[in-house]
């Protein structure tokens, strides 16, 4: 049996806030907010995938930290959340991937309209932000 497809999500923290990105697709997820990321490609580590996705989707370099939260079952396989910090450059939304970005403080995390899987890590994000 093939291993479950791993999707990484990035808890990108800067100045005590975490970055949320508004999805444009698929229709079921469009308009909802996620921790940016995507599928881990063959031969790639999870940390490498986080770096690549942040470069592709946000145009920024990041340094990957630790894994937080528990693995989450999603339709695509399993979602794993990694912390990261900015290495340089402010994130910018790439039109095809995200309709907008926002930096979310601890007290605002629970009120964000997250995609289902990401909603499950709200408590972990609040703890991460202190
Ligand atoms: N999620 C999800 N939360 C979250 C991410 C990054 C992804 O629930 N924070 C889900 C959404 C999709 C699947 O994981 O069902 C793949 O994420 P996606 O579409 O961002 O991954 P990509 O960019 O690798 O996908 P394709 O370009 O479509 O292959």
pLDDT of 23-43, one tens digit each? 999 999 999 999 999 999 999
Backbone angles phi, psi at 127, to 5 degrees: -65, -40
Structure tokens at 2: 């093939």
Q: Ligand 1, residues 33, 50, 76, 84: which to mutate, most atoms within 8 A of Cβ?
A: 76
The structural domains of the chain, ordered by start, are 6-129 (3.90.79.10)
Lowest mean pLDDT among 2-6, 24-28, 109-113: 2-6
Q: Ligand 1, residues 21, 32, 37, 109: which to mutate, most atoms within 8 A of Cβ?
A: 37
pTM value?
A: 0.95
Task: For residue 110, give every residue at least 6 positions away whose Cβ sits within 8 Å of its Cβ, in sequence order, or none.
Answer: 122, 126
Distance (angstroms) between ligand 1 centre and the Cα of 35 equals 10
| Ligand 1 surroundings by CB, under 6 angstroms | 7, 9, 34-35, 37-39, 74-76, 79, 115, 117-118
pLDDT of 87-98, one tens digit each? 988 999 887 889
């Amino acid at each position: 049996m093939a291993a479950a497809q791993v999707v990484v999500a990035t808890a990108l923290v800067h100045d005590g806030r975490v970055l949320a990105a508004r999805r444009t697709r698929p229709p079921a997820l469009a308009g909802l907010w996620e921790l940016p990321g995507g599928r881990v490609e063959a031969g790639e580590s999870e940390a490498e995938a986080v770096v690549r996705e942040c470069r592709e989707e946000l145009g920024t370099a990041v340094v990957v930290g630790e894994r937080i939260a528990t693995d989450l079952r999603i339709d695509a396989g399993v979602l794993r959340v990694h912390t990261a910090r900015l290495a340089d450059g402010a994130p910018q939304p790439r039109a095809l991937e995200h309709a907008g970005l926002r930096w979310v403080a601890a007290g605002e995390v629970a009120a964000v309209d997250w995609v289902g899987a990401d909603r499950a890590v709200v408590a972990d994000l609040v703890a991460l932000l202190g």
